[in-house]
Structures are given as C-alpha cells and as structure tokens.
Chains A and B, each alone.
Chain A
Amino acid sequence: MATEIDINRGGPARAGVGPRGEKLASADGLDLDALAGLDALDIPTTERRPLATRAWSATWPKIGALALFLLLWQVVVWTGWKPTYVLPGPWSALREFGSRLGTGHFWDALVRTVVRALKGYALAVVIGGVIGIAVARFPILRTAVGSFITSLQTMPSIVWFPLAILLFKLSEAAILFVVILGAAPSIANGVIYGVDYVPPLLVRVGRSMGARGFSLYRYVVAPAALPSVLAGLKQGWAFAWRSLMAGELLVIVPGHPSIGADLQNSRELIDAVGVMASMITIFLIGVVVDAVFNVADRQMRVRRGLVAEGNSAVRAARGRGKGRGSEGGGDWPRDDDSGGGSSGEPTGGPYLESRVGVTTSAE
C-alpha cells in the first residue's frame, strides 16, 4: 500500500502506476486501496499530550500571576502607604480566610450566597432564553423590544434596588428580582445574536434536506447559534454575580448570613482583614465558575475544529511538533520498499513528518 501512496505523491514511477492524477491500470480493488491510502494522507493529526502535562501548563502561569499580585500587594503594604488596620498584608488576609474555612458560619453564608446565585441565574436563563427566542423569531417583537433589551443590559443593576426594596422589602425576593434583571438581558441578547448570525448557507442546507419551521431550528439554527448563546450565558453569569453581590451588601435579611452581609459587617466593624477574607471568597467563586464556563466553551470549540488546529499549527510553526508517532523519514522521493519502517531522521519539517506519520500508522 505504501508503494502506491508514495508514487501518487510524486515519487518515482512504478509498473502500472502513473504520476498523481493518472488512473491506476489495475482492477477495482487496487484503486480502492489506493484511494484509502490517499485518504490516510489527508487526515489531519491531532496532538494529544498527557493530562498531567496539560494541567500543569494551564496552571503554572496562573500561579505565577497570583504570586506576582500577592508580591505587589505586600510591597504596597511595606511602603506604609496606609496603616495596616485599613490595608492588611496578604499573609494576614489569607490566614484569616483559612481560619474562616473551619467555621460553620462561613459555610452557611457561602451556601446561601451560592444558592441565591444559582436560583436567580436559573430563572434568568429561562426568562432570557424565552424572550431571546421570541424576539429572534418574531420581527414585530424585535422592533418592539429589541433595543430595550440592550439598554436594560447596560443599566447598572444597583439602580434597581430602591424599586426592589419598595416592592419586596428587605427580602430574598428583592435580591432575586435584581439578579434576574441583571442577567436575563445578556442571555436574551446571546440568543438573539446567535440566531441572527447563523450562516445562511447552513440554513439553505437544512431547507434543502426538508427541514422546516421547528425542525429547522432543532437541526440547524439552535446548534449554529450555540457559540453565541454560550457567550451570552457566560456574560449573564457575570451580571448575575455582580447584581447578587450588590444586593447582598444592600439587602441584608436578618438571620440570613451571606458573603455580602459578612463583607458589609466587616466594613462596619472596620475589620480590614475580614473585608479582605470576604473578597478572597468572592474572587475564588468567580475563578471556579469561570473555569466551568471555559471547559464548556473549549469543548464546543474543539468539537467544531475552532481550537486544536490553530494551536497545533502555531506549535508546529515554532518547530515544536512532537508526539505524533512518526517512525519513517520525511523526504518524499525516498525509496519506499522498507514500507516506512526505516529510521531516517525526518527532514521534511513538522508538516511532512505528520503526514508520513499517519501513513505509517494507517498501514
């Protein structure tokens, strides 16, 4: 098989086989083999590195950045710009944060805050999703409320609180109300833009296959809109989280400890270390949620070929292509009787190397 492949890629001519493009003289079976061989050459390779390596290379820059930030913070403290009872050093803040982890109160507050966030966000997803679909579907609705959604989105959520407190008093409902108002417009806009930017060609493809109305949405529009919807969901979360924090600072429900209430409490007691510890908690939750969204986003992009190729191409261009299982040499006009098993030093660069590597493994 390797014989035909190399010849068809421009190697020396052999009995019964012409240069690329000429028909093979033999029976059908051979043609098909040759075609399969050409296909093997055509398949792009994807690089797989061990999980530990990938995890480490994703983690160390973050650790480095964090260390740098803590160092800067410490330096500012050392300069004595502010007294330490208003600006404590990172070490005492982290120690306070660590000691809080052991208290029941901390977990009570954390769980309440997270539950509020999830509840508000889930409702916002439902409401924003329905509004988004309706606006994308019916032109009259778009004319009527399309631009209002964007102006709602740009409104700082904190301005809703006076109204929320009048409507719902200092209650969970007031917080929920503002969280939903904060997040839903972004989610709706994600859906609307997603539908707007579906490539017309794909819609034609769907219609040519007989998809109409709902089935067109199910098979073409919805999956094509997914990237934008996901971006809207992510932005919606950011708004929900901000609104919630603002809400917890303003709307303190007696007997309901929360991260925001703790933060406000620490400020009132001029407990700077406590303020910092609460901020660390808020920051960490943000980091965790961001990681979740990134995983979802990355998976989607990898599936659609929007990520892996670019990365590996960049790496290959830098001459770092590795781990492709290449065994044979990379120069084309090589005598190939050995079937690609000879251990020549690859001379064709990463591109050829990968092509030959695939041929070898396909045999």
Chain B
Amino acid sequence: MRIPHPILGLRDQSEFVYLGDACLLERPDGMQADALQKMTEYAYQRDNCRGLHRELWFHEQGDRAWLVVTRNTVTHEIVKVEFANEVASHD
C-alpha cells in the first residue's frame, strides 16, 4: 500500500505510523457535565466500518506530518489525503 502524500507524492506505507480513526481529532470537552460518558466513547468506542474509513497516519520517516487518509478498508483504495492540522482548524 502506498499513501499519496499531499506534498511528497506517493510514499510507501512503511514510512508511516498508524494511529486510528480520525474521530480522535474531535476531543470532547473534559469540563462538561457529560464528560465521563463522552470521554469514554472518545477513548474506547469506534465505528470500525467496512468500506470508507477516515484515519490518522503520521509520516514518521518523512516530513513528520499527521495526515487524515480516507481509505477503503476492504480494497485499500485511498480516495483522499489531507493534512490533519488543516482538517482540525476547519472544524
């Protein structure tokens, strides 16, 4: 599997480290009344879908950028790659 890095082009998967579902970008507010429930869901529960999956990859052996990769978990086809900091600042 190769990941099309937005700047560096196609890079081998082994240059990257995988973290998991990009829902990790949306950290709940720990001061809210329902924080325990929200934090539990955030830390432990995942959609784990079969098909398109938005996920976080870190380009450790490259430019050390965090990427949000939209990938099909059955075919490994990658349909979209974005910088995680840009995704996060849009929200």
Question: Does B associate with A?
Answer: no
